[in-house]
A and B are shown apart, each in its own frame.
Chain A
Amino acid sequence: MIRNQRYGDRARIGYTSPPLTSEVFPYEFYKVAPDGVTLVITTLAITVRSKDEVDRSYDISMKAAREMAAAGCDAIVLGGVPINLARGAENADRVIAELEAELGVPVASSASAQKEAFAALGCRRLVVAHPYKGEDNSRFDDYAEKFGCSVLGTRAFGSAFNRIGAIPDNAALDMARALMAAHPDADTIMFPSPHWPVIGAIEPLEKEFGVTVMSSIQAILWRALRLAGIKDSIPGYGRLLREF
């Protein structure tokens, strides 16, 4: 007997994916999302995160959002905090509001999803583990502060942007354990960037240290589901998806 329901019969989530190539995001999305929820993805233009690439990606995002609405997506998330904030935080909020009005579809951004997630979880004192080189530490510290949190410590895996698909599954777990050993007063472990493998680390770390884990992919998916009217409590991937 063949299934007669289409894949996205509960919700179809549009997402503009910043890296020119997308590998980890779709895989992890489907590990976490409930059956009947699909990802409609457009890849953007980022390979080294130059200003030109960010500007082009911003323009592609706007066009892609319109394509996604025309294709019937139930919620759209504009990916990439650097792209979201490229023209200022106020502009980012205005773009979301204008797109929602134009398209008739709920819209969020990676930045707005994370801001909402941090607020829901009540995060205050963060440690940050990210996949990139150490030179990016201050960027993530700035974002965390924009989200109303202070950063106690940061670790960088050291990958080039275009190689983050080749980071092993245990990297997030190892970096977070080292950070928690150095900063036991942290209340939250943050994994920025939804393009390296983190979902397998969330629940073990919350149980091991009694803290909250907040990752970009978890925040994006959580916000998209809630905007699309899916209120399921999802076990196995942290407090955010289970409790809020």
Chain B
Amino acid sequence: MDDLDRIRGHRARIGYTVAAVTTEVYPIDWYRVVPEGVSLMMITLPLGTRSADDLARCYDISIEAARTMARAGADLVVLGGLPINISKGGGNLDDLMGGLAREIGVRVSSSAAAQVHAFAALGSRKVAVVHPFEPDQNPRHERTIAEFFGLEPVGVHAGGSNLVALGTLAPGRALEWGRAALAAHPEADTLYFGCPHWTVVDAIQPLEDEFGVSVLTSLQAIAWESLRQTGIEDRISGFGRLLREF
């Protein structure tokens, strides 16, 4: 087939619900990581304060969005936003995704499931967390690592930013905060960057090389899950062990 006969997502079209009103960093980093021919089909969600009502509303919109993306021809739908994914309890997430996949006739995954699978592939046990938000989010991250992922949280580093400012963070911030987290918690075997809407992809490989740990980020896990679920087994260099080895 001539290149011009191809559609943009000729290898795979990935539907993704973005857990934010606006998105900026995600599509840039997505296209830096995935191979040519894998496209991103996005729907932004009206996530605000992350209150229970807010999460429930976004959950319902995500499900409707999955139906829309299936009708548009997505090969896989990934429901974004771990807090939204597990807002109805993480325990039945596989059942919910399985039921939705049967209904829409397209495979369904989620940010939460992608990260479960990625932690398992990497053999992670002791996890240091870096997130870009205020420290008041630390307990939520510790609970998620312990209770949802079933791993040991060894410490959390908060960047002190907020949802509105995520697009303005320089790539050096992730490296700086990752180094601080691993210096404070040398027992960690994995460094986890929560939230795929700030620039972290440039920090993955340097931190793995410098500290000999695995680095797992939300976007990297979602991209990896998307590729493998759609039968794309390319080994991708430069963004950590997950995409290179598994």
Contacts and interface: CB of A to CB of B under 8 A. Distances in A.
Interface of A: 2-8, 12, 14, 20-24, 26-27, 30, 38-43, 47, 63-64, 67-68, 70-72, 162-163, 165-170, 173, 197, 200
B15 A42 contact: no
Interface in B1-48: 2-9, 13, 15, 21-25, 27-28, 31, 39-44
Given A23-B41, A47-B68, A162-B71, A169 B4 contact: yes
Given A8-B24, A23-B39, A40 B167 contact: yes
B221 interface: no
Output the residue of B22, B40, B65, B199 with the most chain A CB within 10 A: B22
A228 B68 CA distance: 34
Contact of B22 (A30, A71, A167, A170): A71
Given A26-B27, A170-B2, A170-B4, A7 B167 contact: yes
A72 B168 contact: yes
Interface string B159-203: 000001101111110010000000000000000000000010011
B4 A173 contact: yes
B73 interface: yes
A71 B9 contact: no
Given A12-B167, A38-B28, A21 B41 contact: yes
A40 B44 contact: no
A238 to B, nearest CB: 18
24 contacts: A2-B171, A5-B170, A6-B169, A7-B199, A8-B167, A21-B42, A21-B43, A23-B42, A23-B72, A26-B40, A40-B24, A40-B167, A41-B23, A43-B44, A64-B22, A70-B164, A71-B24, A72-B164, A72-B168, A162-B71, A165-B8, A165-B9, A170-B2, A170-B5
Contacts of A14: 22
Contacts of A170: 2, 4-5
A166 B27 contact: no
Nearest to B29: A7
Interface of B: 2-9, 13, 15, 21-25, 27-28, 31, 39-44, 65, 68-69, 71-73, 164-165, 167-172, 175, 199, 202-203, 206
A41 B24 contact: yes
A21 B31 contact: no
Given A6-B199, A165-B73, A173-B4, A71 B165 contact: yes
Output the residue of B2, B41, B72, B165 with the most chain A CB within 10 A: B72
Nearest to B14: A23
A184 to B, nearest CB: 23
A23 B27 CA distance: 10
A48 to B, nearest CB: 11
Contacts of A3: 170-172, 202
Nearest to B25: A7
Nearest to B48: A67
Contacts of A163: 72-73
Contacts of A169: 3-8
B43 A168 contact: no
Contact of B43 (A2, A4, A20): A20
Nearest to A8: B167
A43 to B, nearest CB: 5
B12 to A, nearest CB: 12
Contact of A43 (B8, B39, B43, B164): B43
A71 to B, nearest CB: 5
A7 B28 contact: yes
A165 B6 contact: no
B8 A27 contact: yes
Nearest to A16: B22
Contacts of A47: 68
B198 to A, nearest CB: 10
Given A39-B24, A41-B24, A41-B44, A197 B8 contact: yes
Contacts of B41: 21-23, 165
